[in-house]
Amino acid sequence: MVPQSVVQWAALAKKYAALRPPLTANEILSVIWSESTGNPNAVNPKDPSYGLMQITMPIAKFYGGITASQQLFDPERNISIGSGFLAHLKETYAEKFPTTWIAGYNEGEGNLTRGVADPSYVAAFDSHMEELKNEFIT
pTM equals 0.96
- DSSP H helical segments within 57-136, as ranges? 57-64, 75-93, 103-107, 109-113, 119-135
What domains appear along the chain, each with residue ranges and CATH number?
4-135 (1.10.530.10)
* 136 pLDDT higher than 80: no
pLDDT band at 134 (very low <50, low <70, confident <90, very high): confident
Rounded Cα distance, 2 and 17, in Å:
19
* Residues 12-55: tens digit of each pLDDT: 999 999 999 999 999 999 999 999 999 999 999 999 999 999 99
Q: What residues have CB less than 8 Å from 81, skipping those under 6 apart?
A: 53, 55, 59, 60, 63, 64, 66, 72
